[in-house]
């Protein structure tokens, strides 16, 4: 539910031509990471595209949503994705949480 609200809010932010391109890059990277969380090659490419989009506009919400998704996917071991114990201890969950908070901050 929260994920769909964040996406709806990100899409509601007004765009100009330059931000539209950054949004497209970041959104495609986010969607690739979300759809293929266990494919290291796709996650690596998504991370590169998120970095690229970040260098162009660090206020784009999809940059931070994508960063959160890639961070979580990179730290996941096995089991339920909703349980913190199934991720690398420490920085992955904190990093993903911080990126998600930045997404919300950019939308407000």
Q: Note the pLDDT of residue 4.
A: 64
Every domain of the chain and the residues it spans: 2-11+19-107
Q: Note the pLDDT of residue 100.
A: 76
Report pTM. 0.71
Element (H, E) at 98: helix 91-107
Question: Mean pLDDT for each consecutive 10-residue tract of the chain (108 residues)?
Answer: 61 58 94 93 95 91 90 82 76 73 73
- Comparing CA positions, the residue from 38, 94, 19, 102 lying closest to residue 66 is 102
Q: Note the pLDDT of residue 11.
A: 59
Residue 83 CA to residue 79 CA, distance in Å, equals 8
Q: Note the pLDDT of residue 87.
A: 77
Secondary structure (DSSP) of 35-49: H-TT-HHHHHHHHHH
* DSSP three-state, residue 87: strand
How far the first Cα of the chain sits from its last, in Å, is 18
25 strand-pairing partners = none
Q: Note the pLDDT of residue 92.
A: 67
Q: Two tokens at 34?
A: 């979300």
Other Cβ atoms within 10 Å of 101 Cβ, number = 12
């Amino acid at each position: 539910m929260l994920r769909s609200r964040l996406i709806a809010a990100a899409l509601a932010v007004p765009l100009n031509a330059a931000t539209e391109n950054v949004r497209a890059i970041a959104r495609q990277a986010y969607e690739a990471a979300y759809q293929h969380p266990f494919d290291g090659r796709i996650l690596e490419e998504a991370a590169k595209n998120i970095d690229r989009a970040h260098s162009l506009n660090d206020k784009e919400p999809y940059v931070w949503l994508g960063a959160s998704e890639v961070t979580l996917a990179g730290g996941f071991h096995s089991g339920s994705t909703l349980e913190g114990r199934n991720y690398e201890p420490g920085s992955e969950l904190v990093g993903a949480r911080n990126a998600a908070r930045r997404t919300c901050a950019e939308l407000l």
